[in-house]
Structure 1
């Protein structure tokens, strides 16, 4: 029997790459062979790849008041799959070529919620849908002052219509438990904050 745990495959051979669609997003089809766990290259396969900019998501957190700031906006993906396609999320944006993730986090906090981050705590970085997309997400918790925060925000020229609300952390966590928060980055960030909240508050207060 072959030891499938002896090493991790590394080799990928791209036989052909073709563009199927190019708009704001891009769809490519790749024909490839990749190394197998049992050794050697497998047969040629084809996979469609949704090509996206990398993204930054940040959960605004006020450690003094133990409050988070969450936004609510319409999303096309959930239409027809859930009753309410207005999702509760963290602030987020795409990375332009000349930007670093921290700059995007600060810019989006201002545009989407009228917030200023005084500190950023890196949480993790991950692929949200690696089976079909190359998008890579940088996730942060951002230190903010939640006093007076709220209302409607977003850039009209980008079609944004965003409602901002301050949540006591316990209420946000309960909404997560109740299935009212179904956005991946918000779920990860709130769960991470639940595990690391004492440390965060100790360093940020």
Structure 2
């Protein structure tokens, strides 16, 4: 099926702020070939995002950041999450430029290479966000401290972990956000190739 198999009957603007919320009244073609009945669906409209896992192939170490996340406030014992460096794509930015910019802003790191992992929808049932996921080559020596842009309310602590420790944190649930889990598991599967090319 294709986009032509969806009929947008009406699109309502429900909220306009830093993010948007629209309500779509639509119908789409069923697997039977017939058009289905009209449906009403809310859509969280947001910029696409870039997430990058800084990796030091010489030390076999990853750089993770820790920051407060309001989405985890009521469903987690600790709403300070271990995550990847990440940011939203502004109108005319390329994902690679966002990855490099955010690595400097959030972790004080310069990335010397980027390895695209994947592009994916984290929650397509209600959001149009698409994530561009990368591994970024870095030198982790001296990495650490607190970073972020004060004008954006960022308070970000930087951690350097052996890759094996980060994988253990995925296994025991200390790392529990999708981009971090996907990137770390991808690196575990492709570690030899990445180290071979980047070392």
Please indicate the TM-score interval, normalised by the length of the shorter structure.
Answer: over 0.9
Question: Could you say what secondary structure the match of 1:21 adopts?
Answer: strand
Map of 2:117 onto structure 1 = 123
Number of residues of Structure 1 aligned to a counterpart in Structure 2? 198
Instruction: Report the TM-score when normalising by structure 2.
Output: 0.98
Task: Give the deviation of 1:124 after TM superposition.
Answer: 0.2
State which of 41, 46, 54 in structure 2 corresponds to 1:52.
Answer: 46
Map of 1:89 onto structure 2 = 83
Question: Could you say what secondary structure the match of 1:84 adopts?
Answer: coil
Instruction: Report the TM-score when normalising by structure 1.
Output: 0.95
* Cα distance in structure 2, aligned partners of 1:158 and 1:175: 28
* Cα distance in structure 2, aligned partners of 1:122 and 1:40: 39
* Cα distance in structure 2, aligned partners of 1:55 and 1:121: 16
Q: For residues 44-103 of structure 1, what are the alpha-carbon distances to aligned partners after superposition, in whole Å with 9 as ceiling and x for unaligned?
A: 001000000000000000001100000000000011111000000000000000100000
The answer to whether the aligner puts 1:182 opposite 2:185 as a matched pair is: no
The answer to whether the aligner puts 1:12 opposite 2:6 as a matched pair is: yes
Question: Could you say what secondary structure the match of 1:201 adopts?
Answer: helix
Task: Give the deviation of 1:9 after TM superposition.
Answer: 5.8
* Cα distance in structure 2, aligned partners of 1:145 and 1:112: 15
RMSD: 0.7
Map of 1:5 onto structure 2 = none
Question: Could you say what secondary structure the match of 1:77 adopts?
Answer: helix
What is the correspondence of 1:59-98 to structure 2 with a 5 Å cutoff? 59-98=53-92
The answer to whether the aligner puts 1:153 opposite 2:147 as a matched pair is: yes
State which of 16, 25, 32 in structure 2 corresponds to 1:31.
Answer: 25
